[in-house]
A and B are shown apart, each in its own frame.
Chain A
Amino acid sequence: MMLQFLFGALMGFSLLYGLARGTEAETVAAMLGGAGEAVASAIAMAGGFAFFCGMLSILRRAGAAEWLGRRLSPLLRRLLGPTLPKEALESAALNLTANLLGLGNAATPMGVKAARQMAKGGPAASDALCMFLVINSSSVQLLPASVIALRAAEGSRDPGAVALPALLATLVSTAVGVISCKLAEKKA
């Protein structure tokens, strides 16, 4: 829904505005330029991205997801509430560690499982589900692989320079999300 609207609105508006101002030729040229650039940059960053995914895969095969999951479980239990079934907690921990390691594909099925177990069948989201979604959408990520790969593709001298600030920023955003969520829970 969101994307249909975003794409339609940006495209439609640009074309109409271009026609009205007589700059339609430039608009179309820019549009097609963007298409070519998308392919060029996807190819340029694919190598770097594949490299990081490869290295993270070694970490995962070494059991990093389980190791991190065990360490995160006590913290998660405190955030999601003590009444949460053990199964749901385990799925949530696996989902978050997969996200930490940048394994979006592996994370989604685990997250769906956790969300189902937290929903409890009611029409309104439980406290645990709200908290889980807020943590999830604030993205705690160990290494922003796609950003680093894109920076390298654009010729950065130090593509990894953003790894630490990005981790700190994502910790800030998660902390703010968690605190506001706890406050909203208490109010309700």
Chain B
Amino acid sequence: MSWLLPVFLLLCLGAGAARRVPVYDAFLEGAQEGLDTARRILPSLTAMLCAIRAFSACGLLDPLCALLSPAVAWAGIPKETLPLMLLRPLSGSASLAMLKSILHAYGPDSRIGLVASVMMGSSETVFYTCGVYLAAAGVKKSRHTVPCALLAWLAGSFAAGLLIPGA
């Protein structure tokens, strides 16, 4: 699958050329936005990585994950990725910090690292997204929104475990 990304990048360039887009200027514009985003998430990433590291060090995370792992093991979800799965709907920066932690500890190309990466990409910060839009729309009763969104999150997480072949 290593051809996928270069082909996608070629597609970006090709579409730009076909529509006479000044590709260099367009790239700079996007790169500026990307750098601004990276700078903007830094404080929350720092806060969350501190909290996650401290919590991991206190020694309660491992037994907690071991306790929950039978419930997800059937889908091939490694117990090491459970904290990421649980944090994903709560906070974007916390889950990014957790993903970083996992990739660092087990390696980005290990099965654990791959499942964690797919998990991160398969879902969104459910509570934050729903909260922002419901507040903006002035709606008090969200009806079935949150249960359905959480069901989608569960399905995405299980898909992440099933899509990455086991060792």
Of the listed residues B37, B54, B96, B126, the one surrounded by the most CB atoms of chain A closer than 10 A to its CB is: B54
CB under 8 Å from chain A, chain B span 43-59:
44-59
Does the CB pair B163–A17 fall under 8 Å? no
Decide if A143 is an interface residue (CB 8 Å cutoff).
Answer: yes
Give the interface size class of chain A. Answer: 35 or more
Q: Is the CB of B48 within 8 A of A7?
A: yes
Q: Which of A26, A111, A150, A165 has the most CB of B within 10 A?
A: A165
Contact B28 A157 (CB under 8 A): no
Please state if B90 and A55 are interface contacts (CB–CB under 8 Å): no
Q: For the complex, what is the distance from the CA of A7 to the CA of B128, rounded to whole Å?
A: 15
Instruction: Indicate if A136 sits at the interface (CB-CB under 8 A).
Output: yes
In chain B, positions 19-35 with a C-beta closer than 8 Å to chain A are 19, 21-23, 26-35
A interface residues (Cβ-Cβ under 8 A, vs B)? 2-3, 6-7, 10-11, 13-15, 17-18, 21, 23, 26-35, 37-39, 41-42, 45-46, 49-64, 104-105, 108, 111-112, 115-116, 118-119, 121-125, 129-130, 132-134, 136-139, 141, 143-148, 150-151, 154-170, 172-177, 180-181, 184-185, 188
CA distance A119 to B99 in the complex (A): 35
Question: Known: A7-B51, A42-B45, A173-B152. Is A54-B31 also a contact (CB below 8 A)?
Answer: yes
Contacting residue for B16 out of A62, A168, A170, CB 8 A: A62
Binary contact readout B134-154 vs A (1 if CB under 8 angstroms, 0 otherwise): 101111111111011101111
Known contacts A37-B100, A58-B16; is A166 also within 8 Å of B49 by CB? no
Structural contact, B50 and A32, CB atoms closer than 8 A: yes
Whether the pair B129, A137 counts as a contact (CB closer than 8 A) is yes
Partner of B103, one of A42, A46, A154, A167: A154
Inter-chain contact B130/A165, CB cutoff 8 Å: no
* Extra A-B contacts (4), CB below 8 Å, given A11-B50, A38-B50, A62-B21: A42-B38, A45-B38, A55-B13, A184-B147
Q: Count A-B contacts at CB 8 Å.
A: 361
Known: A6-B90, A33-B53, A181-B148. A61 touches B31 (CB 8 A): no
A160-B47 Cα distance, complex, nearest whole Å: 28
Partner pick for B149 among A134, A150, A151, CB 8 A cutoff = A134
B122 contact from A118, A156, A170, Cβ within 8 A: A170
Assembled-state Cα–Cα distance A27/B138 (Å)? 42
Q: Assess the B52–A64 pair: CB atoms within 8 A.
A: no
Tell me if B137 and A134 are in contact (CB < 8 A): no
Give the docked Cα–Cα distance between A73 and B159 (Å).
27
Known contacts: A13-B58, A17-B60. The answer to whether A160 contacts B5 by CB under 8 A is yes
Closest-CB distance, B116 to chain A (whole angstroms): 9
CB-defined contacts of A6 to chain B, threshold 8 Å: 51, 90-91, 94
CA distance A99 to B4 in the complex (A): 20
Which one of A10, A60, A170 has the greatest number of beta carbons of chain B within 10 Å? Answer: A10
Complex: chain B residue closest to A142, CB-CB = B8
